[in-house]
Amino acid sequence: MEAREVLENHALKTTSCRHEVLGLLLSTPQALSQSEIEKSIDPDTDRVTVYRTLKTFLEKGLIHKVLDDSGATKYALCIDCGVNDHNHEHVHFKCNECGQTSCLDKVSIPVINLPPGYKITEKNILVHGICQNCG
Amino acid sequence: MEAREVLENHALKTTSCRHEVLGLLLSTPQALSQSEIEKSIDPDTDRVTVYRTLKTFLEKGLIHKVLDDSGATKYALCIDCGVNDHNHEHVHFKCNECGQTSCLDKVSIPVINLPPGYKITEKNILVHGICQNCG
DNA sequence: GTTTATGCAAATTCTTTGCAATACT
DNA sequence: AGTATTGCAAAGAATTTGCATAAAC
């Protein structure tokens, strides 16, 4: 999938910042923080524009937030999400060695039984450990 | 359990800020953000001191971070944690209505099967939905 | 009496906002 | 051409650091 194509599908104008950020996320298997993104794109790009780009992508459902144990926010592509049909219920894995966070789309989300009176709308699972590369 | 007692157990001097913050966490069933903590203690307390207090509590294992969907960090007491024996593997629940985050200590952590090559050291589960009070 | 924590000031860093200029379709 | 996005400047928060004073044990 090309960045330009994804942008068109979401009715977003193709600008260089959007193209670069989206292209980066498309080609990176891990979730990236804003600062990591900034380091990997044209250094002349305004930091504010990156903020707004990520915000737009979140709103339009192109990407989702991935939480880090430290509280840092990273971003990753929504793979299976339609515009109004979000599905972020996959497991996120953070490696203690290399620090990289990835979405394990193929790992099924377990059933969680809460006490009576609770209603679940979303489950967010972050697993820590050692990844395949570092193990 | 008294705040003073907990501080002594962890070899921490009893200062008013520590006493207040810890007392607040002891008496609150929900996880609290730094700003929520600041609003509930003596308003003369320096914000920097609260930062340092929370940092110390984290390092000494009195409290742990609880992540929010939005990426905000909250703090909650470590119930079952020894100094070198941490156990944060409980489910965290955030209510979409009241916004409160609580630790569901009694909900068992499900087994998660990762692909070969991954080693798990910790599981962090955040569930969103409607809590008992709001449901 | 020593050691440690606090309070203040200030430096950094992060994030948001307003507005004119620019780029996109 | 018309609308949306960018870049810049600057405001506003959040967080960290250094150091002298004050408090705890």
Q: Is the pLDDT of residue A10 over 80?
A: yes
How far from A1 is each of A27, A58, B78, CA to CA, in Å?
10, 18, 45
The alpha-carbon gap from B4 to the nearest alpha carbon of chain A, in Å, equals 28
**How far is Cα B22 from Cα B76, in angstroms, rounded to an integer?**
10
pLDDT at residue A134 in the model: 94
Put simply, whether the predicted model's pTM sits higher than 0.85 gets the answer yes
Q: A35 — contact with chain B (CB < 8 Å)?
A: no
The secondary structure of B93-133 as a DSSP string is EEETTT--EEEETTSPPPP--PPTT-EEEEEEEEEEEE-TT
pLDDT in tens, A60-109: 999 999 988 777 889 999 875 555 555 667 789 999 999 899 988 888 88
How many residue pairs from chains A and B have C-beta atoms closer than 8 A?
A: 127
The alpha-carbon gap from A33 to the nearest alpha carbon of chain B, in Å, equals 12
Q: B73 — contact with chain A (CB < 8 Å)?
A: yes
Residue of A nearest to B123 (CA): A127
pLDDT at residue A32 in the model: 95
A53 CA to C11 C1' in angstroms comes to 29
pLDDT at residue A22 in the model: 97
**How far is Cα B128 from Cα B121, in angstroms, rounded to an integer?**
23
pLDDT at residue B83 in the model: 52
CB A122 within 8 A of CB B129: yes
Q: Is the pLDDT of residue A40 over 80?
A: yes
CB A64 within 8 A of CB A88: yes
CB A135 within 8 A of CB B121: no
| Sequence-separated (6 or more) residues with CB below 8 Å from residue A26 | A1, A2, A3, A6, A77
**How far is Cα B111 from Cα B90, in angstroms, rounded to an integer?**
13
Tokens of B90: 């409980």
Q: A98 — contact with chain B (CB < 8 Å)?
A: no
The secondary structure of B19-59 as a DSSP string is HHHHHHHHH-SEEEEHHHHHHHS-TTS-HHHHHHHHHHHHH
Average pLDDT (A22-51) is 95
Architecture per CATH, A3-129: Orthogonal Bundle (1.10)
Q: Which stretches of chain B score pLDDT less than 50?
A: none
Domain segments of chain B as ranges = 3-129
Do A104 and B114 count as a contact with CB atoms less than 8 A apart? yes
Rg (CA), chain B: 16
Q: A65 — contact with chain B (CB < 8 Å)?
A: yes
